[in-house]
Structure 1
Amino acid sequence: MEEDMTENISKILSEIDTENLPVHIGIIMDGNGRWAKQRGLPRHLGHQEGMKKVVQIVEACNEIEINNLTLYAFSTENWKRPSIEVEALMNLLVVFVRKELQRLHENNVKIKILGDISKLPEVPLREVHRAVELTSDNSGMTLNIALNYGGRQEITKAVIDILTDVNKGNINIDGIDEKTISEYLYTKGQPDPDLIIRPSGELRLSNFLIYQAAYSEFWFSDVLWPDFNANHLYRAIVDYQKRNRRFGGI
C-alpha cells in the first residue's frame, strides 16, 4: 500500500487515536542496498543512510508514547553477505552507538538486544554491552535491536533452554504452555508486536519475530528504508487503528 506521504505531519498526528496505540511496533529495516544502487553508490553507503533514520523513528515513537519498538538490524542470515558489507555493518553499529547513545539515554530510552550477540566482533560487542548497561535503569520506551537475530534460532534456543530446565527439575513438562515459551524468548516480559512495518516493497517476515507475530497486523510500503520517515510511521499507525483485530474470534 502506498499513499501520498507529503501531507503535513501535524495532520497525520491529529488522526491518531492516542487511546488505541500499538503497544509494540516491529520494523524490518529493508531497502538500504537498493537505495544505494539506485544512486550508483556502494551498498555500505545505503546502510549508512539507513542508520540515520533510526534515531528519527525512535524519537517519533517516543513522541506519541509507543512503549516498545523493535528494529531488525542484522539477521542470522546476513553473515552470508560479502565480508566487506558485513564489516561495514559492524562498523556502522559502532558508529551508531558512539554517536547516538547519549541522545537516546537522555530521552530515557531503554536499549535491549534480541539475538545471539556472542558472535559479534570484539569492538561492536563491547559497544552493545555499553549501550545496554548505560540505559538499563531508564523507564521510557524500550528499544529492542534485533542483532544476529533469527526467529527460528530464537525458538530453537527456547526449546533447548526449556528442556534443560525440565531435566534440572526447574519446571514441570506438564505445565509448559504458550506463556512458558514466551518466557524463554528474547522478548521475555514484553508484549507481542501489535504492528509490524516493512518498507522496500517486500511482503514477507524474513525470520523476524515469527513466534511473537502470530496475531500482528502488517503494514507494507514500497518506500526504501533510507527514505522512510515519521510520516510513514504515523500513517501506518492510523491504518492499524482502522482494523478490526479479532484474534480468531468474531
Structure 2
Amino acid sequence: MHTRDESLGRGILYGLYQNRLRRGLTAETLPRHVAMIIDGNRRWAKLLGFDNAAHGHRAGAAKMREFLEWCDDLGISTVTLYLLSSDNLTNRSPEELDALIEIIAELADDLSRYRDWRVQHVGSTAGLPEPLVAALGAAETRTMGKKGLHVNLAVGYGGRKEITDAMRSIVADHHAGGGSLEDLAERLTPDLIGEHLYTGGQPDPDLVIRTSGEQRLSDFMLWQSAHSEFYFVEALGPDLRQVDFLRALRDYAKRNRRFGG
C-alpha cells in the first residue's frame, strides 16, 4: 500500500513531466483541428463493477469537457468529438441509448454555457429524438456569435452518410439552378464536396485521436481525415490524462506530414 508521501512524490514528478511536455510544444507545431474518438466508456464502467454503461458514458462526457479545456488552453482552434454514431442508434440497447442521449444533451447545454466556445452539431438529425435535436439546436443558437474554441459535436454521425448527404445537396442545388448533368460533371470537385459536408468551411482535422487502444476509424470523418495523422491511446475514455494528450501532440509535432505524398 502506498503512503501519502509516496503518492505526493509521484504527483509532483507527474506534474513536472507534464510541464516539460507542454514547454516542448510550440504554436507552429500544434494542430489547428483535433478530432477525438472517445472510446472505452462501457469497458470502464464494467471494470469498475457498475451494472450499466451510463456511469461510463457520464464519466466520458466529463472527461471530454476537460479535454476541451486542454485544447483551448493550448490555443487549438477546432475540436470534433465523436459522441454518437448513426450506427449506435440501432446497435445499442434502448436503455443504454436513452441514457446516452440524455448525457449528450446535458453535455451540449453545459458546453454552450462555458467559456467563449462555439458549439456546432455535425451529423444527421434522422433518428435522433426530438429533445436531443432541440438541445443541440439550442447550443448552436446560444453560441452562434462566439469566437473561442469551435466545438463540433458529432452526434447521429456517419462518414458514409455525410458524403452521401453532401452529394445529394450538390445535385439538389444544381438541379434547382437548372444545370445539366454535363455541367455538374464539370463542376464536381473535391473542394465542392468539402463545402457541402457537415463541417463545410472548417479546416480538416490535422490529428485524429482514439482512446481505448482500438485502431479503427468507425466511419468517422472519412473524407476529412484523408491526410490526417492518427494517434491511438491505450487509456479508456474516462481515464485519459492530460499527459496522454501532450504525448500525442509531441508525437504529432515530430511527424513529417506528407499529405498523400
Into which bin does the TM-score normalised by the smaller protein fall?
A: over 0.9
Counterpart code for 1:61? C
Does the residue aligned with 1:119 lie in a helix, a strand or coil? coil
CA separation in 2, counterparts of 1:52 and 1:164?
Answer: 40
Alignment correspondent of 1:230: 242
Does the residue aligned with 2:116 lie in a helix, a strand or coil? coil
Does the residue aligned with 2:27 lie in a helix, a strand or coil? coil
Q: Note the alpha carbon deviations across 1:187-243, whole angstroms, 9 max, x for none.
A: 100011110000101110000000111010000011000001322112111100000
So what's the TM-score if we normalise by structure 1?
Answer: 0.92
| Greater mean deviation of Cα atoms: 200-209 or 226-235 | 226-235
Alignment correspondent of 1:58: 68
> Which structure 1 residue ranges, 5 or more long, are not aligned?
none
Does the residue aligned with 1:85 lie in a helix, a strand or coil? helix
Picking from 133, 142, 149, the partner of 2:141 is 133
Does the residue aligned with 1:196 lie in a helix, a strand or coil? strand
Q: Rg: which structure is higher?
A: 2
So what's the TM-score if we normalise by structure 2?
Answer: 0.88
Shift of 1:62: 0.4
Shift of 1:9: 2.0
CA separation in 1, counterparts of 2:134 and 2:260?
Answer: 44
Picking from 11, 28, 35, the partner of 1:19 is 28
CA separation in 1, counterparts of 2:172 and 2:109?
Answer: 38
Does the residue aligned with 1:73 lie in a helix, a strand or coil? strand
1:187-226 mapped onto 2 (5 Å cutoff) = 187-226=199-238
> Which structure 2 residue ranges, 5 or more long, are not aligned?
1-12
Aligned residues, how many? 242
Name the structure, 1 or 2, with higher relative contact order (CA <8 Å, separation 6+): 1
Answer whether contact 2:126 2:156 (CA < 8 A) is retained: no
Q: What is the percent sequence identity of the aligned residues? A: 38
Tell me which stretches of 4 or more aligned residues in structure 1 moved more than 6 Å.
none
Picking from 96, 100, 103, the partner of 1:89 is 100
Counterpart code for 1:56? E
Shift of 1:166: 2.2
Does the residue aligned with 1:19 lie in a helix, a strand or coil? helix
Answer whether contact 2:212 2:234 (CA < 8 A) is retained: yes
| Greater mean deviation of Cα atoms: 19-28 or 110-119 | 110-119
